[in-house]
Structure 1
Amino acid sequence: MARAVAWRLAAGLIFGISTAASAAAESFDCVIDPAIVVKVGSQVPGLLDSVIINRGDRVTAGEAIATLSSKVESATVALMTVQAGSTSEIEAQRARLDLAQNKLARVEELVKRNISAKSDLDAAIAEAEVVKRELALAEMRKRAAELELNRAQAVLEQKTIRSPITGVVIQRSLSKGEYLDQDKQLATIAQLDPLFVESFLPVSKFGSIKVGMPAMVKPNEPIAGTYEGTVKVVDSVFDAASSTFGVRVELSNAGQKLPAGHRCRVSFDGTTD
């Protein structure tokens, strides 16, 4: 009798431990998605002069991935560079101003000695003022040329299409020689670091999942291993049809070793089943 009671107690203890472990190991279906998927187009329409990327290429933010035909814009930049860099007009006006000021000084001295008339002094003052204004206009024209050069360079820069994110090219839609208008996309690029793990949990779990808590993600085969992420989003609006709510986990993917678009299991207690 005592032995039977001991077996029941042992069995109950084992069942309790098994139940607790099962509850601790509870996990949920999830999908590993790219953090961002961008369809890259162009600010301006034009004929593609070069397309540098192909499907599967890794690109960094700001990297040139294609160029549009830009012969006219390049010629404009070259012209404006010469005009903005020229200082000959300003130098000529400064030389004229030096002469006018020297003349004014001589006339002033002559007027003081009653050798020249007051009208000669007025004329010399007026001439110096005119040259000052012409120098100011020359400096303004040079500044305007510099601004025109900046504008021309900005227009030319629009002919270079750059990747807005660091990621991998998952689709290239056009090739060299094709026309790219503002309604078309050149390529689709996905950011794979970090990854977003999306899961839907039963509403009974609402309140137990908090933003900032750790989560363990186990990708389906053939991807091996378990990876720790952090809860970034807990939806506050339920899906009435399925009685679930969404949870997003951010998963670091340095080196982009983990693929996106793959199913997984996620748990929020540090273990997976």
Structure 2
Amino acid sequence: MARMLAGGALALSAMLAANAGHAQGFGINCTIKPTRVVELSSAAMGIVAEVYVVPGQRVGQGDVLARIDDRALQGELALAEARAGITSGLAAAETRAAALRQRLARLTEALNRRAISAAEHEAAATELALAEADILRERDQLLMAGLERDRVLAQMAAMEITSPVTGIIGENLVNPGEAAAPNPVATIHVTSPLRVEAYVPAARLAQVVEAESHIIIIGDDPTPVPVIFDYAAPMADLASNTISVFFKLDSDSILPGSRCFMPNSQS
């Protein structure tokens, strides 16, 4: 019985010592933040039809986040494609011009034989010139129809809202039925890499900055996580007499907003 009591006392003493060491060894508070926050706006006006992501979801650059209602543009596209595909006018103009070229060639031979008047030959040449102008006009109309089709296609492409960066979707996410402007349709937290902001006492700035390596402890997990020194803020916070020192953290599993501590003793 005495041995059991002694063993329990030793265990309790060891636990208290460990807790005391933990309290003394993690003196620098820090927070984990995204590298930057992107407030994504839509390039097109309209009502959001579908949203494909949820807050907290990781997205990659180019991923489609939402789509604006494009039913009106679909009708415009069908009309533009129909106009761009109508080539009958050009074909008729080219056929007529080909026939007029043959006629003018015959009239030119006749003129050389003095079988027709110069005025008759000139009228045929004018008619051919007008037919060739009709060909150019038909081609211009097809070109304009193609450009109009491309314009509508570009508008429809803008109806898909894609992520310009890799990160995590924030809470500020548009809902179906809401307008795509003027407010941001999504907030994306860029987490590659994460930014760790440590609030270092001014007296210890040199010690922390000049350390060969740096680690942090995240939440209640005692596993050390390595971070890379980035830079120190140029000014101290007068109220707390601390200086913000920033580090980079590469991780796909750690979320922004996590609390962390930096051990006092680092080499």
Question: Which of the five TM-score ranges fits, normalised by the shorter chain?
Answer: 0.7 to 0.9
Letter in 1 for 2:244: G
**Gapped runs of 5+ residues in structure 1?**
1-24
Task: Report the counterpart of residue 182 of structure 1 in structure 2.
Answer: 181
Distance between the aligned counterparts of 2:105 and 2:231, measured in 1?
Answer: 78
Q: What do you get for the CA RMSD once the two structures are aligned? A: 3.1
Task: Report the counterpart of residue 130 of structure 2 in structure 1.
Answer: 130
TM-score, length of structure 1 as denominator length = 0.74
Distance between the aligned counterparts of 2:157 and 2:261, measured in 1?
Answer: 45
Question: Per-residue deviation at 1:94?
Answer: 1.9
Number of aligned residue pairs: give it: 242
Question: Per-residue deviation at 1:76?
Answer: 0.7
Q: Verify the 8 A CA contact 2:227 2:248 in the aligned structure 1.
A: yes
Given candidates 245, 255, 259, the residue that maps to 1:247 is 245
Task: Report the counterpart of residue 230 of structure 1 in structure 2.
Answer: 228
Between 228-237 and 141-150, report the one with greater CA deviation.
Answer: 228-237
Can you list the C-alpha shifts for 1:34-56, whole angstroms capped at 9, x where unaligned?
Answer: 12323334334433322222233
Distance between the aligned counterparts of 1:236 and 1:188, measured in 2?
Answer: 29
**Counterpart check, 1:259 vs 2:247:** no
Question: Per-residue deviation at 1:201?
Answer: 3.6
Question: Per-residue deviation at 1:243?
Answer: 4.6
- Where do 1:94-109 residues align within 5 Å? 94-109=94-109
Q: Structure 1 residues 214 and 44, CA, compared in 2 at 3 Å: closer, same or farther? A: farther
SS at 2:56's partner residue? coil
Question: Per-residue deviation at 1:244?
Answer: 4.3
Identity percentage of aligned residues = 23
Can you list the C-alpha shifts for 1:134-184, whole angstroms capped at 9, x where unaligned?
Answer: 2112111111111111221222223222223222223254433x3225133
Distance between the aligned counterparts of 1:132 and 1:231, measured in 2?
Answer: 72
**Gapped runs of 5+ residues in structure 2?**
1-24
Q: Verify the 8 A CA contact 1:219 1:262 in the aligned structure 2.
A: no
Distance between the aligned counterparts of 2:64 and 2:242, measured in 1?
Answer: 43
Letter in 1 for 2:257: G
Q: Structure 1 residues 219 and 138, CA, compared in 2 at 3 Å: closer, same or farther? A: farther
Q: Verify the 8 A CA contact 1:230 1:249 in the aligned structure 2.
A: yes
Letter in 1 for 2:229: V
Q: Verify the 8 A CA contact 1:45 1:179 in the aligned structure 2.
A: no
Letter in 1 for 2:230: K
Task: Report the counterpart of residue 142 of structure 2 in structure 1.
Answer: 142
Task: Report the counterpart of residue 167 of structure 1 in structure 2.
Answer: 167
Task: Report the counterpart of residue 190 of structure 2 in structure 1.
Answer: 191
Q: Structure 1 residues 122 and 54, CA, compared in 2 at 3 Å: closer, same or farther? A: same
Q: Verify the 8 A CA contact 1:231 1:250 in the aligned structure 2.
A: yes
Q: Structure 1 residues 139 and 27, CA, compared in 2 at 3 Å: closer, same or farther? A: farther
SS at 1:62's partner residue? coil
Task: Report the counterpart of residue 14 of structure 1 in structure 2.
Answer: none
Q: Verify the 8 A CA contact 2:55 2:173 in the aligned structure 1.
A: no
Q: Verify the 8 A CA contact 2:216 2:227 in the aligned structure 1.
A: no
